[in-house]
Amino acid sequence: MSFSIERYKEESKKLDTAGIEWAAVREHPLSKGDLFCLHYMMDIENHVPLYLSHLLVTRACMDPILTAFLACWNYEELWHGENIGKLLNLYGIEFDTQDRIANVRANLGLQNSLSILSTMAGSWFFKDFSAVYLSIGAINELSTLTGYGALIRKSGHPVLGDLLGRIVKDERRHFAFYFNSAKEWLTGNEKAQRVDRWMLDRVWVPVGQGVKTQEEVDALALYLFDDDQGEADLINLDEKIGRLPGLSGIKLMSKALYAARERASANPRWGWRLIDDEEWAIAPPKKSPGELTTRRSGIDAAAALIEA
Ligand SMILES: [Fe+2]
Ligand SMILES: [Fe+2]
């Protein structure tokens, strides 16, 4: 698996959706589990710019190759979220994309700012922060594309399968960048390997956790991976990450699945109640997004003026 930043810069583009049979989206049913996963995935794809805001304040971004990658990567991820949202809208689920994104962000509150500060400080204290960040990038991209593969299989929906298949191709390139960069950083650097392993064993969480609750993360894992094929996919994923120097035998996504199963065995409704009760149709934010963006309050104020 090779990666050329020059080639990536030349070829990076908005997701090509030409030929997707959007008109046929409603001809095939999606289960509540499929819809739950699609909402989760859309929210996390749309969260990338905030994730990026954490990275741009770190030591890792002194590397111009990394910042060139991030500039293209952020744009590509934007179109993943946009197109998943489009598919949901065409399926008949009504929401305004900007409202939904603002609501998710409004729920983050102070925790988001504290997290930026601690990531920034950590990166300047620990020289090998980049190794940890790049490894986490590789794990996140690989688990994202593995999750899309599982949803293609579970849903059996041809239009969704076509869309996610195209997104997976982007995610594979992202994975190749992170994996190769992490490998480069870790090779021959035992101290970085030790720090990386320690952090991944203790601090790493699955993609989306933090924006989503533990139960939402578990619901996704149980829906997509709690069968023989799903479990084998996650063991395979861990094995691939274990090929990075110093990470041999590491258990990440398979461990997360087993932990989700344990919580579900203590409470059989765990996770599934979110799917059944349609919690994917988002709880209202604790704060009004308008307080944070000014946009909604601006529109409301204009409407009030017109009415007056
Ligand atoms: Fe993506
Ligand atoms: Fe990606």
In the chain, what are the domains? 21-280 (1.10.620.20)
303 alpha carbon – ligand 1 mean position (Å): 36
pLDDT reported for residue 283: 67
Q: Residue 214 CA to chain centroid, in angstroms? A: 15
170 alpha carbon – ligand 2 mean position (Å): 6
141 alpha carbon – ligand 1 mean position (Å): 8
189 alpha carbon – ligand 1 mean position (Å): 30
Does residue 109 contact residue 47 with C-beta atoms inside 8 Å? no
Ligand closest to the CA atom of residue 41? 1
pLDDT reported for residue 291: 67
Backbone CA torsion sign across 161, 166, 172, 178: negative
Measured from the Cβ of residue 216, the count of other Cβ atoms closer than 10 Å reads 21
80 alpha carbon – ligand 2 mean position (Å): 9
pLDDT reported for residue 298: 46
232 alpha carbon – ligand 1 mean position (Å): 22
Binned average pLDDT, 10 residues per bin, the chain of 308 residues: 90 97 97 96 94 88 92 96 97 91 85 86 86 95 98 98 98 97 96 96 93 95 97 98 98 97 96 89 69 59 53
Distances (CA, A) of 127 to 58, 72, 114, 120, 121: 11, 25, 21, 12, 11
The DSSP element (H or E) to which 150 belongs, if any, is helix 129-155
Does residue 138 contact residue 182 with C-beta atoms inside 8 Å? yes
304 alpha carbon – ligand 2 mean position (Å): 42
pLDDT reported for residue 305: 53
207 alpha carbon – ligand 2 mean position (Å): 11
**pTM value surpassing 0.85:** yes
73 alpha carbon – ligand 2 mean position (Å): 7
266 alpha carbon – ligand 1 mean position (Å): 33
Ligand closest to the CA atom of residue 46? 1
Does residue 2 contact residue 136 with C-beta atoms inside 8 Å? no
307 alpha carbon – ligand 2 mean position (Å): 45
3-state secondary structure 239-301: HHHCCCCCCCCCCCHHHHHHHHHHHHHHCCCCCHHHHHCCCCCCCCCCCCHHHHHCHHHHHHH
132 alpha carbon – ligand 2 mean position (Å): 17
Q: Let me know if 153 is exposed, middle or buried by CB neighbors in 10 A (0-12, 13-18, 19+).
A: middle
N-terminal to C-terminal alpha carbon distance within the chain: 63
209 HSE (CA, 13 A, CB side) = 17
